[in-house]
Amino acid sequence: MQHRVTLLFLGTALAAMLGNATVRADKIVDPKTVAPEFREAAEKRHAEQLKLIECNNAAKVAKIQRRDLAQYVAECFDKPADKPQ
């Protein structure tokens, strides 16, 4: 009986560890490494990724609470890049 409880505990612990695996962010697209026919889309994605990183960093500096982070980043992302903040 004790072995069954130990195995159950270990199985639960293993499932919890696998379920909480670290989520990896997408790599930043390098337009130079993409086939020429996809370069325009890669350049657009690269610009979006840089803007998203910039907005996330601004949220950290502004110490935005986690519950408000998505709204802050979305509003920041929608602002034109040439407009002073």
pLDDT in tens, the chain (85 residues): 555 544 444 444 545 544 444 445 668 888 999 999 999 999 999 999 999 999 999 999 999 999 999 999 999 999 886 655 5
The per-residue DSSP string of the chain comes to -HHHHHHHHHHHHHHHHHHTPPPPPPPPP-GGGS-GGGHHHHHHHHHHHHHHHHHHHHHHHTT--HHHHHHHHHHHHHS-TTS--
Number of independent structural domains in the chain: 1
26 burial level (CB within 10 Å; 0-12, 13-18, 19+): exposed
Q: Is residue 7 part of a domain?
A: no
Quick check: pTM over 0.75?
no
Q: Is residue 42 part of a domain?
A: yes
Q: Is residue 8 part of a domain?
A: no
